Structures are given as structure tokens and as C-alpha cells.
Structure 1
């Protein structure tokens, strides 16, 4: 956790979330991976190096802890309290967001196409 580069937005909130997570991604499988070799929690640490997905330095984000809340509009997500946020590595965040979108689409009621109703 020595190579922290903070985000441009609410620095205090981000620092609190990352500190509560001990600088490590808090994903426990919402991304679709079991993270079994890391004890059930993603092993990526802020400032660490990721060997896959393009490599480079890991930059954790503070985002809603509940994957369903990842679909909130930005102004509602920004209003969430610290206790509703978690540290996510970009890979887990993107995969959890995609899974939440799939779930939302699958549970959405079918809208009939009124153009062809006669």
C-alpha cells in the first residue's frame, strides 16, 4: 500500500474505503471467480502489479459493495455512505458490473413491441 495514487474525486472517502479494506480488493466472487487460491477474496492490492488483463499497476476504486448497487446512476452512487462502499480492483469491478447488468436484463419484464400489435 505504499504506492497510493488517490482519485480526483472525494479523497477522504476513497482513503477511508481503501484503508478499511487494508488496500486489497474486497471482491468475494461477485465477479464470477471463486478467488479460491487467495482465500476466497481477490488478492489484488492497490499499487501492486497485475500480471493478467494487460498488466500494469492495480488502482483500486471505491464503489458500491452490493453488486446490484453498481447499476445506480452516478449521482446516487456518489451519495452512498462509506459503509455501503467497498474497494474493487478494475477487473473484478467490471466483471461484477457486467454480471449485475445481465441479472437486471434477465429479470426485467418483457415489453411487447407495440409497432406490430394489431
Structure 2
């Protein structure tokens, strides 16, 4: 496995990747069941991307909790390694979109905050 860390890595990214064995830790929060792969995304850091022509996959260290993906960057960088997981870009982006949609749906269910 090619473990080229991101620029400015402080060791946190490497610790998260080691805990994940260099494999995306998504278990379906992206909207894909990953059933063919034992319930976990098959993307490996440095391996081939999920689609032809996407190049080598580069995993991200980001909050394990989908709602944590909506935190501002300065709060995410302060999280301990136990609160982080390895994400492939496709699962990360889809999970973040799903968390954002769920947040908007919850806000809409509370009703409008209008004056009238």
C-alpha cells in the first residue's frame, strides 16, 4: 500500500490510516450498502479508484460521525484520532451530502421561523 501522507501531516493522518488498515471505513452512510464487500467500502489508499480513469485513490481522515462532517474546519482539526475515520472521497462527499440533507429536513420539520 502506498502510504504517501498529505502535505503538512502531523502524524494524525498516518495514525487514522493505520487504524483503518488503509481502507475506507464507510459502512453505508454514503447511501451504498457495500454488500459485495462485506458491508465496508473496498477502496484502499493508493489503490485504483472506484471508476476507470480516476487514478489512485487518496483517503481522507475526517470525522467518523456523519454529523461531524458538517462541523467547520477549525473544529474538525481539533478532533482526537479516536473521532476520525478513513474515507474515500466518494463516500466522504456522499455522506456529507446525506448529513446536510438530514439537517435541512429536520430544520424544515421544526417549521418556519417567520414573523407571521
Question: What is the TM-score normalised by the length of structure 2?
Answer: 0.91
Q: How does 1:1-118 map to 2 (within 5 A)?
A: 1=1, 3-52=2-51, 55-108=54-107, 109-114=110-115, 117=116
Tell whether the 8 Å contact from 2:43 to 2:50 is kept in structure 1 after alignment.
no
Aligned-CA RMSD value: 1.5
- 1:68-90, Cα deviation, whole Å (9 max, x unpaired): 11000101111010000000000
Q: Distance in 1 between matches of 2:77 and 2:59?
A: 16
Gaps of 5+ in 2: none
Consecutive unaligned residues of structure 1, counting only runs of 5 or more, are: none
Q: Secondary structure at 1:11's aligned position in 2? A: coil
When normalised by structure 1's length, the TM-score is 0.89
SS of 2:62 mapped into structure 1: strand
Point out the structure with max Rg over C-alpha. Answer: 1
